[in-house]
Amino acid sequence: MIVVYGIKEALNPIKSKLSNVIHGCMQTVLGMPKDKRAHRFIPMDKEDFYY
């Protein structure tokens, strides 16, 4: 499973497109089935995200 953490204001607007890109890569490289997505998004408040 792939977990993507990000600042919610930046992550939420691109979640759908990013999900499709990640899933497409997993299908191509790992042979994942079309109907099974193995990733999660964890949007965080800016003050809780340390980088």
* Domain assignment present for 6: yes
As a residue count, the chain comes to 51
pLDDT tens by residue, 24-35: 999 999 999 999
Angle at CA 36, nearest 5°, toward 42 and 44? 5
Range of the domain at 26: 2-44
- Would residue 49 count as lying in a domain? no
Confidence of residue 49 (pLDDT cuts 50, 70, 90): confident
pTM greater than 0.85: no
Q: Is residue 50 part of a domain?
A: no
Whether residue 31 lies inside any domain: the answer is yes
Question: Is 34 among the domain residues?
Answer: yes
- 22: nearest Cα among 8, 38, 7, 10: 38
Q: Residue 15: inside a domain, yes or no? A: yes
Total of domains in the chain? 1
